[in-house]
Amino acid sequence: MVDSILHITNGDYTTNYLKKLKISGEFITWREMLCEGKTTVDVGSENFWKNRFEFFKSSYKVSKQKFINYTVKEYRNLCNKKEQKEIVLWFDYDLFCQINMIAVISWLKRYRKGYHISLVASGKVEGVEKMLSLTELSEEQIRQHYTDKIELTQDDIEYADYIWQLYCSDSPLRIETIYKFNKNSPFKYLATAIEAHLQRFPSIKNGLNKVENTILKTANAHQFSSKKQLVHQLLKDQEVYGFGDLQYEHNIENLQKLFSSFNPVKLSKKGQQVLENQVNFYGQLRADNSYLGGSKKYSFLYNTNTEKLLQITS
C-alpha cells in the first residue's frame, strides 16, 4: 500500500529527523542550492540540470557522477512519486531554503496540478529569541509545526512561481520592486530572503557584496588561528543565509588576495583598504560567468545608502 502523503524536505538532516520521529508518509530530499549559480525557470529540464552541473563543476569541482548520484537521482525519484495527492513541503526560513522552496513549488505547479500542497516552515518560535531551523526544533515543536502547516492555495502557488520566474530573469530590478508587497503571502520569510539575495550584488562602495564584506569584518574583528575558525564563526553568526562551510570557503577563496595569511587569519593591506571603502575591488572580482539566479552578478551594483540596485550599462 502506498503512503498517502509525500514529504519534500530541505535536506538529509530534516528527512532523517522526521523519519526518526516516525512522521508517516514517503520522503524526497531536495538536494540543491539554487541560491548560488545560474538558474533557469524550467526546473527539472535538461537545460536546467545542464546549467546546474556546469556551476557545481566550475565552482565546487563536483564530478558528473557525484552530481547525478546525489542530486539528479533523488529528483528522478520525485518524478516517479505521482500516487500521493497530498504533498507537504518542509523548508527553513533562510535564503538557501526559501529559493529552493519557490523552485520546488514552481515544479509542482507544472507537474502536480490539482494536488493538495501544504508548507511547514521553521523560523520564529514563541519564547525563543533566535530563529530556529527544522532540525533545531524539539519533537513536540516539530509535531506542532506539522499540525499548524499552511495549506497553499492556487494563488499562493502562482505567487511562488512568479517570484521564482523573477529570480531567474536576467535582471533583478523587477524582483526588487515587487518582493515586499504581498501582505497576504503565507511565505512569511520570503521577503527577508529576497532582501538578502539583492544584497549579494556588489556594493557600489567597495565592489564586495554583503557576504564578502561580512567575511572581511569578521576576520578583522577576531583573532583566528586558522581559516577553519573563521568559517566556524561565520556559520555561527549568519542569520539569514543558511550557508554551509563549503559556501563560505568558496567565498573566502575568491577573496584570498585580501588576506596576507590564513594561519593565523590576517587581512592584507589591500584587504584593510577595501574594508574601509578606500579601495574598490570590483575590477579584480568581476567574472562574466558569475550568476545570482538568472542575473549576472557583476552587471549590477547595490547602493547601501538607498538600498537600491543599479544596472551597469556598457
The residue ranges of every structural domain in the chain are: 5-194, 210-311
Between CA 167 and CA 172, with CA 169 as vertex, the angle to 5 degrees is: 65
Please, are residues 84 and 78 in contact by the beta-carbon 8 Å criterion?
no
- Express each pLDDT in 228-241 by its tens digit: 999 999 999 998 99
- Express each pLDDT in 17-73 by its tens digit: 999 999 999 999 999 999 999 999 999 999 999 999 999 999 999 999 999 999 999
Using the CB atoms, write b or e for 272-304: b if 16+ within 10 Å. Answer: bbbbeeebbbbeebeeeebbbbbbbbbbbbbee
pTM: 0.96
Of the listed ranges 55-59, 167-171, 181-185, the one predicted with least confidence: 181-185
Q: What is the pLDDT of residue 215?
A: 98
Given 1.10.287.3510, 3.90.1150.10, 3.40.50.300, 3.40.1360.10, which CATH number is that of 5-194?
Answer: 3.40.1360.10
Mean pLDDT calculated for residue range 257-271? 97
Rounded-to-integer distance, Cα 137 and Cα 132, Å: 7
Using the CB atoms, write b or e for 253-264: b if 16+ within 10 Å. Answer: ebbeebbeebee
Instruction: Write out the three cell numbers for 7.
Output: 514529504
Give the list of residues 6+ apart from residue 22 with CB closer than 8 angstroms, or none: none
Asked whether residue 309 carries a pLDDT value surpassing 60, the answer given is yes
Asked whether residue 2 carries a pLDDT value surpassing 60, the answer given is no
- Express each pLDDT in 91-126 by its tens digit: 999 999 999 999 999 999 999 999 999 999 999 998
Closest CA to 182 of 168, 166, 170: 166
Identity of the residue numbered 28: I
Beta strand pairing call for 265-267 and 295-296 = unpaired
Asked whether residue 1 carries a pLDDT value surpassing 80, the answer given is no
- Express each pLDDT in 211-228 by its tens digit: 999 999 999 999 999 999
Give the list of residues 6+ apart from residue 66 with CB closer than 8 angstroms, or none: none
3-class SS of residue 240? coil
Please, are residues 157 and 98 in contact by the beta-carbon 8 Å criterion?
no
